[in-house]
Amino acid sequence: MLRLALALALALVPLTARAGELVVTPGGLIQADGRFFVDDAADPHTDQFAIRSLRPELDATFDHASARLVPDFAGGKIVLQDAYIDLTYTPYLAVRAGKFKVPFGLERLQPEGTPMFVERGLPTQIAPNRDLGVMLFGALLDGGVQWQLGVFDGVPDGAIGDGDDDDHKDLAARVFVVPFPCPRSPLRGLGFGVATTYGRAHGSLASPDLAAYKTTGMTTFVAYPTGATLDDTAIADGVRWRITGQGHWFYGPFGALAEYVRSQQRVALGPIATVVPAQAWQVEVQWVVTGEDATYHNVTPAAPFDPEHHTWGAFDVVARYDEFRVDGGALSDKILDPTKAARRARGYSVGVDWFLSRYLRAQLDAERTTFRLGFAGGIDRPDEDTIVGRLQASF
């Protein structure tokens, strides 16, 4: 798979050329991670190195249309991340069709490789990932108001969709406002918005259509029961609804991002059926200690790492608090097993980034996650302490 991915990326390089109105631009993203657990004797986990992302990227523009194709070969599997076409005749209204990110979570919508931390926060566990659908979008007031409205197959929280087996679809809508777009305003990096999704989901024994929620260490701390029959397997069985409030502010070397997400899904387990609410929120802050601008998209060093010329790239420090809660009624009704599903998780994270150039980034994060319930005997799951490192190349 690695050879195939590299061969594909290299094969695309000569395509960067103009032929009439056609411009084809290749790119790529490679993320090499190391994940280590500190003092996990009470609840053992596996330390490991992994290729988290291995994505050749292909962008094409022609006339008033553009297209993007991004497969991912990480983990020895092929996953289609993005495959869509945009039609744009005016900045106020455009159409996108294919597979792409659902317009919902603020951190999820950041370009890959640009979030402050190696792993996105707990609210992103609730936000949908990518799905198949069609979306109208645009920008008003010189980009001060961005809007999206789409119809999608529908996916569980945090999931990627590759198809659908019923007629039910999800509606997604988002509005994000940047009230001070003037480049000289100290509030130019301030933005805030709301988004929602609404649809119906009906799972089956083979495909329950429900989410499992994971920590930064990629360990599952909330999951629905599965078994051999519908009497011991929880399935989605009705309305799935989400809402989020979100915002960011970037000014000079300082950046902050915050969002709140709530999700409700009707779930059935044998004769029991109930609505299970889950909610999460987070606050992230960033300070670029070398003085470069912090932005929603990335940090660009004033000079790349070059010891011969005594330049060292850019450095930042980041911190995050995030929290996840699931409704206690789902535990008392046995929709969720309290010996396996935590009612609450809280994350405390710090990290440092080294931006060697526009294309190279090294990250090191440390996080402690604490839990309420979620362990055998109805006691609290042991704290999870993780150290996660990443070396990333994007081009």
Chunked mean pLDDT (size 10), the chain, 395 residues:
43 46 93 91 81 96 94 93 96 96 97 95 96 97 94 96 88 96 83 97 92 90 90 93 98 97 95 93 98 94 96 98 90 79 95 97 97 86 95 96
Q: What is the Cα–Cα distance from 115 to 138, expressed in whole angstroms? A: 23
Total of domains in the chain = 1
Q: What is the pLDDT of residue 171?
A: 98
Q: Three-class SS of residue 332?
A: helix
Give the pLDDT of residue 41.
Answer: 64
**What integer pLDDT is reported at residue 242 of this predicted model?**
98
Give pLDDT, residue 330. Answer: 79
Q: Angle at Cα 190 formed by Cα 188 and Cα 193, nearest 5°?
A: 135
d(CA 267, CA 236): 5
Neighbour tally for 334: CB within 10 Å: 13
As a whole number of angstroms, the distance between CA 313 and CA 292 comes to 10
Domain that holds residue 389: 2-394
* First-residue to last-residue Cα distance in the chain: 20
Q: Which residues pair with 283 in a beta bridge?
A: 258, 321
Single-letter code of the amino acid located at 198:
Y
The single-letter DSSP state of residue 381 is: P
* Residue 20 · residue 61 · CB < 8 Å: no
**Whose structure tokens read 């069709």?**
97
CA atoms of 103 and 193, how far apart (whole Å): 11
Interatomic CA distance for residues 324 and 344, integer angstroms: 6
pTM, two decimal places: 0.91
Helices vs strands, H then E, count in the chain: 3, 21
Q: What is the pLDDT at residue 16? A: 45
* pLDDT tens-place string over residues 157-193: 999 999 888 888 999 999 999 998 777 788 889 999 9
Q: What is the pLDDT of residue 42?
A: 60
Other Cβ atoms less than 10 A from the Cβ of 39: the count is: 9
Phi, psi of 308 (to 5 degrees): -65, -35
Which one-letter amino acid corresponds to residue 218?
M
| Rounded CA separation 263/277 (Å) | 6
Residue 114: how many CA atoms within 13 Å on its side-chain side? Answer: 18
**371 token code pair:** 């839990």
User: What is the per-residue pLDDT across 66-110, written as a single tens digit (0 to 9) for each?
Assistant: 999 999 999 889 999 999 999 999 999 999 999 999 999 999 999
* Side chain identity at residue 317, one-letter code: V
Angle, alpha carbons 195-328-173 (nearest 5°): 10
Which DSSP helix (H) or strand (E) runs through 273? strand 272-288
Residue 80's beta-bridge partner residues?
71
The domain that holds 221 is classified in CATH as: 2.40.160.10
Q: How large a percentage of the chain has pLDDT more than 90? A: 75
Question: Tokens 């603020």 map to which residue?
Answer: 106
